[in-house]
């Protein structure tokens, strides 16, 4: 049993999402401060993602739009990864996902796919890219806009 605990702790330290079945009541989940049920997780989340959309602009840019139930007061934390995949990840605390977690395949202008996933009371937008891109993040009321541009040169 210690191996599983060590693996889960290592995965959490690396930012890997773990799916704990609702109502599992495992001692490990309780020791990590994980809510006991999916209902408790939804209650803990103060906001929720309602929609995801994207549009291509002239000049090669792509705008990704996330729409939330309530105003987004805090900027999301984000990080970029280049190996093994090129991706940008936005992390929203105290946020649930009200949309499906299946990837949205895009396949144009350097954008491979978009995916919104929830773990506990956090939700992430995962932007999978074909190659590195310049990104800008903007909050406007209930919307978060991400603009992707190819690097010049």
23: left (phi over 0), alpha (psi -120 to 50) or beta: left
Residue 81 confidence class, pLDDT cut points 50, 70, 90: very high
Q: Which of 21-25, 64-68, 134-138, 139-143 shows the lowest mean pLDDT across its residues? A: 21-25
**pTM for this entry:** 0.70
pLDDT of residue 38: 57
Q: Do residues 73 and 23 make contact, with C-beta atoms less than 8 angstroms apart?
A: no
| Burial state string for 41-67 with b = 16 or more CB within 10 A and e = fewer than 16 | beeebebbbeebebeeeeeebbebebb
Highest mean pLDDT among 3-12, 78-87, 122-131: 122-131
Q: Do residues 70 and 142 make contact, with C-beta atoms less than 8 angstroms apart?
A: yes
Domains defined for the chain, CATH in brackets: 1-44 (no CATH), 46-153 (2.60.40.3500)
């Amino acid at each position: 049993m210690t191996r599983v605990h060590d693996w889960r702790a290592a995965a959490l330290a690396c930012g890997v999402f773990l799916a704990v079945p609702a109502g599992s009541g495992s001692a490990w989940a309780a020791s990590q401060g994980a809510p006991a049920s999916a209902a408790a997780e939804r209650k803990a989340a103060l906001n929720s993602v309602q929609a995801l959309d994207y549009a291509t602009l002239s000049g090669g840019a792509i705008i990704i739009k996330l729409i939330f139930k309530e105003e987004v007061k805090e900027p999301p934390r984000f990080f970029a990864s280049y190996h093994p995949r090129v991706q940008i990840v936005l992390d929203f605390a105290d946020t649930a996902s009200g949309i499906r977690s299946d990837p949205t395949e895009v396949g144009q202008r350097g954008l491979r796919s978009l995916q919104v996933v929830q773990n506990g009371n956090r939700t992430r937008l995962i932007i999978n890219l074909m190659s590195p891109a310049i990104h800008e993040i903007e909050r406007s009321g209930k919307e978060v806009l991400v603009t992707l541009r190819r690097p010049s040169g």
